[in-house]
Structure 1
Amino acid sequence: MAKKNEMSVNIGISDKDRKKIAEGLCKLLADTYTLYLKTHNFHWNVTGPMFNTLHLMFETQYNELALAVDAIAERIRALGYPAPGTYKEYAKLSSIAEEEGVPEATEMI
């Protein structure tokens, strides 16, 4: 985590604990954003007899994930740390693998 944008905050949590919490939230943010991208990809590329149902389901999911991404990033900032915001950072922090190619609809769910 970069120190140059670190803010001094006093919210009743020690600096050490704030850092640990922010680090965990950065990983959660990376996972959530990666899942958002996968879900959006599935929304765009789903085909087959379940198209309409899955297309709408994926849309609902990626909209919820977008809200979660924002909330997590703002929580990191409230702890006094910069939120990661690049694909490179997300790839390094995320435990979710990117999807290669376009899977079948049954593999998407």
Structure 2
Amino acid sequence: IGYLDVVIPPDFVAEDTSSDVIVPEGSSVKLTCRARGYPEPVVTWRREDGEEIVLKHNASSKTAALSFRGQVLHLSKISRSEMGSYLCIASNGVPPSVSKRISLSIHCE
């Protein structure tokens, strides 16, 4: 006896996915990309310009990475250097992968 395994390519849940944002310098922002599909998609974030994503700031150091895995990207103490376009890419091994571009703008006082 055989079985049928239904696979569904990834897609974004529009109402749970961020659009372009403008935030004050020094504030925090949460960018969200909710994806559905089967198997469950993995969401990876990258900066469109290839720069590192600053994941955490504290008084003496910062943590940065070229990519971040997860549906929610938290950015804190935003500076002008973090302004730009962020890509969230959802993939689950079923073509095609999908991506969304979210523009982050900084409002300077």
Q: Name the TM-score class by shorter chain.
A: under 0.3
More strand by share: 2
TM-score of the aligned structures, taking structure 2 as reference length: 0.26
TM-score of the aligned structures, taking structure 1 as reference length: 0.26
More helix by share: 1
Q: Which of structures 1 and 2 has the larger relative contact order (alpha carbons within 8 angstroms, sep 6+)?
A: 1
